Structure 1
């Protein structure tokens, strides 16, 4: 594996942070847990990074090799070399990264728009993705709740903390304070990266609703949805029930981002799906 930056650890249970040099640009990757355990890929949503999974990962590593990428233009990954943010292109990049990591099979879990990346990856490489988990991923465009907060202004970039919190507020339940580290990371991204990624996911969903895509894939599917979601109508999660064998569960009291708001409950639902057992609750982390 070609890496740059932090030297990978050698212990099979260690945390390994590296940068993969791929055809369309570098991709930051973090791996946690035993390397011989079943692989679990966690894909973050738009305008955030792999750090959004920090509270969840310690609960998953007793059962899984957990793999996280900063998607192109997010976190520590640069924008794609050719500027192509299309979801099928992203799926090709993810497949190449997993091949570089020598991952033969993976359960792919996406939060929010990360669920579209997970689905596109399964469409591109059905033999690689054995099962799919979606966390607060909208099934179709008419389930989207138009935000009342002001959009970010490209003419006044980078935005202030207050502007970012207003923009990101609906991504959490009412009253939840957006973590400062996520505010700082969003400020470090370009307006183009955030906007292009969102437009790409919208185009992907416009082409075909997710339940239809998932039905054709025929993969085991588990959907988790916070019942206080302010970005997608929580009732729309029921649309996934048309997928044969799909399970759908709502998290009472959780908003759009239960991976941060309710990490223990979210991990328990994921592990029940993957057949793993939960690890100890983290002693510290983002709350």
Structure 2
């Protein structure tokens, strides 16, 4: 495990494995329900745990609350967990007028968390969820006790086709020619789409258990039946691109210095979607940021290395408690 930081290194010894449940890769997704809070209605999956600490998990583009099954289980002895489906993703229908911009996503989640009334939470964000979590932490510091960012979707303007589960996706978004590509994509079986996604997001796709592949394929089947799902995914994708193309004064890079919460940045060295070369700058700009780079890991470290991510997160929580971060 390669641990680097532009500031002081993370020298704490992670908490003992005895403080976490053994990893059970057969764990089914945690039970889900629709919850209304702060005028926002979201589908969430709850992990039982001590009520005095709450961890909130925010998925990335094309993901859902199911992306946190194993990590939430690992942390369940220390905090209750709330994994959200963001508006337009999973089973959360976007409200009327939702713009799908990162700021809108962050504001919606902030209103929801404030309505839940759990106090400041341990906030986790992966990919686009990490970018939204940064905006939330900068604008609503009272809601965030600690922040863990897993391959956050900071601006990365490398060519897109090689960074998508299928290189035809960008063409499917275009007028005129898009219809032909959308038909081709629609012809893929759910398991083919699941395999494409795993190939893109994992450093070693062979490590994904077969039952997790079936869960992913079933999620594609479910989303195909939801009228708003396809358009929402396209709108979320465009919202992320817009966030990358704003003037420098509005960039995510300018937001990071405003985040006061202790922040752990975790990046996979083999991330194909957002290059690990962005990791040092991200950690450096965060006033209380430190960086953990994981070898042989791709874009979803919480799914690939849940035990390692849990150890690092518990070290962050412990350091926040005793003021040593």
Instruction: Return closer, same or farther for 1:118/1:89 CA change in 2, 3 Å cut-off.
Output: same
The offset of 1:237, in angstroms, is: 0.7
Is 1:247 aligned to 2:290, yes or no?
yes
Instruction: Return closer, same or farther for 1:19/1:47 CA change in 2, 3 Å cut-off.
Output: same
Matches within 5 A, 1:36-115: 36-115=51-130
Is 1:213 aligned to 2:255, yes or no?
yes
The offset of 1:49, in angstroms, is: 0.6
* 8 A contact 2:101–2:239 mirrored in 1: yes
Which of these residues, 170, 195, 206, is aligned with residue 234 of structure 2? 195
For each residue in 1:63-103, what CA deviation from the matched residue of structure 2 results, as whole angstroms up to 9, or x when unmatched? 11211111112222123333421222222221222123212
Distance 1:57 1:116 in 2: 20
Which one has a larger percent helix, Structure 1 or Structure 2? 2
Matches within 5 A, 1:164-183: 164-176=194-206, 177=208, 179-183=213-217
The offset of 1:151, in angstroms, is: 3.0
SS in 2 for 1:134: strand
* 8 A contact 1:225–1:237 mirrored in 2: yes
* 8 A contact 2:38–2:113 mirrored in 1: no
For structure 1, list consecutive stretches of 5 or more residues without a partner in the other structure. 1-14, 277-287
* 8 A contact 1:24–1:81 mirrored in 2: no
Q: How many residues align?
A: 262
The equivalent residue for 2:21 is none
For each residue in 1:218-254, what CA deviation from the matched residue of structure 2 results, as whole angstroms up to 9, or x when unmatched? 3321100111111121222111232233100111111
Instruction: Return closer, same or farther for 1:24/1:179 CA change in 2, 3 Å cut-off.
Output: farther
TM-score by length of 1: 0.81
* 8 A contact 1:143–1:236 mirrored in 2: no
* 8 A contact 2:156–2:275 mirrored in 1: no
Distance 1:23 1:53 in 2: 23
The offset of 1:130, in angstroms, is: 2.8
Instruction: Return closer, same or farther for 1:84/1:22 CA change in 2, 3 Å cut-off.
Output: farther
Distance 1:63 1:88 in 2: 30
The equivalent residue for 2:323 is none
Could you say what the CA RMSD is over the residues aligned between the two structures, in angstroms?
A: 2.6
Larger Rg: 2
The more displaced of 133-142 and 183-192 is 183-192
* 8 A contact 1:144–1:233 mirrored in 2: no
Which of these residues, 273, 279, 289, is aligned with residue 237 of structure 1? 279
SS in 2 for 1:147: helix
The offset of 1:187, in angstroms, is: 4.3
